[in-house]
Amino acid sequence: MFSKALVPLIALSLMLAVAGMPALAQTPSQESLDANPQTRLDVTADHRKFQRLSREFASGPEVTEACIHCHTEAARQVHNSIHWTWEYDQPETGQRLGKRFVLNNFCLGIAGSEQRCASCHVGYGFDGPDFDFTAENRVDCLVCHDNTGTYSKFPTAAGHPLYEDTMFRGRMVEAPDLNHIARHVGKTTRTTCGSCHFEGGGGDAVKHGDLDSSLIDPPFFVDVHMSPEGLDFSCSTCHEFSGHVQEGSRYHKKTHSGEVTVPGRVNERPGCQSCHGAEPHSAGIHDKLNQHSQFIACQTCHIPEMARGGLATKTLWDWSTAGELDAEGRPVVRRDGNNYVTYDGMKGDFAWAENYPPIYRWFDGNMSYTLLEDPIDPSQVVDINTPQGEPWGPGALIWPFKLVDGRQPYDVVHQRLLVPHLFGQDEYAYWRNYDWDRALESGMRQANLSGQTSAEYSGQYGFVNTQMFWSVNHMVAPADEALSCASCHTTGGRLEGLPGVYIPGRDRHSVIELVGWVAVLATLLSVLAHGGLRVFLARRRRSGDEA
């Protein structure tokens, strides 16, 4: 306790102390931090001072050679990453996956179209099966570490950026300034990761229902973790990198371990539990919410809808209608009232959706894929991938998914899916000749050369309906916008039709209902009997007192 006489003196001392500590009294702006790396505690090198970077670069590989002069192990580390190999041996299903091996119902597959697909490969020059996956100077450092926001790969340059200004689709595209970018590199950002992951399937928001450019600077209601109004996470806050290999993969998820992993420490894969623990809710009445987290993924309740950032996502892609050209031989394009393309002569028909709920499946973190060798039943809808996990099985949780419907080519004789050669300047590319037969023959030949399959094309094709599941993990809403109990505990609710779990309010079971009503009746009778007995005893006591 201080005497009142000392209060003015203490206040004056504090004022003088603050005045003498300008660094504490004035927090540097973000702009000044970016401009002065020496003021940032998370930066130990100012690349503008590196003499080796103060030169003109003629190509991306030249920049990489300058990078690995100091970062001597970086390229070889990247060589071990799925971002480079596009290959993943799934240990639990035994399937060889990765972009070089799986199919999808967006762009179908990469065989024969590597030069176009490589615009999202973390390398330079991946244009076919002969690409040298051991070349260190082929690693593209800038695509992940550019901090200027100006670096981009050109869509048709096999992973290279433009090296001179070029006219493309009627407009001039400027070549990025490699010298400037090389001197302004740093940690990955939402922008660098999003340059590929937000653009999957050929455009912003197309493939994923929970990843699009709205996450570069998201409002709080779109994602509480990434929003600058919230935690301002970058992608690598959760998808931690160690030796240029990131945690977390759609090919092998960790659904529920019962253990808490902590960012910054040794762990397996990212998950909500890493920060929120295994019992994230207050106990409340009967601890019901934490009990639900034992069999329901956090995402199920906390991502109530997809495509919530103002961009619609693609929900249907029908390749069977592609090929319509105008009188001048150009692909016909039609748009809806919101300017979304609903038909493209190069690609077929599309459907889009925004702010819509996911579907739900039991999921243990493993996906089984239909690959080029696998037989299909074309009389049924073919699952391109199937979430694994039985109700209440090991690691299985109720998980949200985006479901994409498709219609794509298959081999009528061998009853297998096919991959066409879509992009290229040669006579076989579908986008040059609009001849499915030649494109499929070439695509399957390239798939054989690359080691993707040994299956052959019979020469007869048709189109089959397909569907594909994409797990939903981003765009986490504020807690007060999470699903309510009534969202599922009702007929026609979110989990309508999901097997393996009895949901009061959704389900009716004669035995359970009989037991419940018996319990209610027994409770009522017990209460009445107890009350009646108390009344009887009270009256009897009063009668005894009066006697």
Q: pLDDT per residue over 458-512, tens digit each?
A: 999 999 999 999 999 999 999 999 999 999 999 999 999 999 989 989 998 788 7
Q: What's the chain's length in residues?
A: 547
Beta bridge partners of 299: none
Tens of pLDDT, residue by residue over 26-50, are: 444 444 445 565 666 677 889 999 9
C-alpha–C-alpha distance, residues 302 and 110, integer Å: 34
What phi, psi does 534 have (nearest 5°)? -65, -40
Task: Give residue 112's domain range.
Answer: 47-243+283-487
Handedness of CA 466, 472, 475, 477 (dihedral sign): positive
Q: Are strands 341-344 and 333-335 parallel, antiparallel or unpaired?
A: antiparallel
Mean pLDDT along residues 165-184: 94
Residue 148 located in a structural domain: yes
CA 312, distance to chain mean position in Å, is 15
- Whether 305 shows a pLDDT value over 70: the answer reads yes
Residue 518 located in a structural domain: no
How far from 452 is each of 135, 186, 367, 371, 500, CA to CA, in Å? 21, 36, 18, 9, 37
Residue 380 located in a structural domain: yes
Domain count, the chain: 1
Among the listed ranges 67-76, 146-155, 245-254, 391-400, which one has the minimum average pLDDT value?
245-254
How far from 271 is each of 20, 255, 263, CA to CA, in Å? 45, 8, 10
Handedness of CA 272, 275, 279, 285 (dihedral sign): negative
Residue 292 located in a structural domain: yes
3-state secondary structure of 444: helix
Residue 55 located in a structural domain: yes
CB 129 within 8 A of CB 91: no
Tens of pLDDT, residue by residue over 220-259, are: 999 999 999 999 999 998 888 889 988 767 888 776 654 5
Burial class of residue 540 in the structure, from the number of CB atoms within 10 Å of its CB (0-12 exposed, 13-18 middle, 19+ buried): exposed
State the Rg of the chain over Cα: 30
Q: What is the pTM of this model?
A: 0.85
How far from 172 is each of 161, 162, 164, 166, 167, CA to CA, in Å? 14, 11, 10, 6, 4
Residue 515 located in a structural domain: no
Among the listed ranges 107-111, 243-247, 371-375, which one has the minimum average pLDDT value?
243-247
Span between the terminal Cα atoms of the chain, in Å = 69
223: tokens are: 């994602």
Q: Helix-strand-coil percent breakdown of the chain, rounded to 5?
A: 30, 15, 55
19: tokens are: 């005045």
Residue 27 is predicted with a pLDDT of 40
Residue 75 located in a structural domain: yes
Residue 330 located in a structural domain: yes
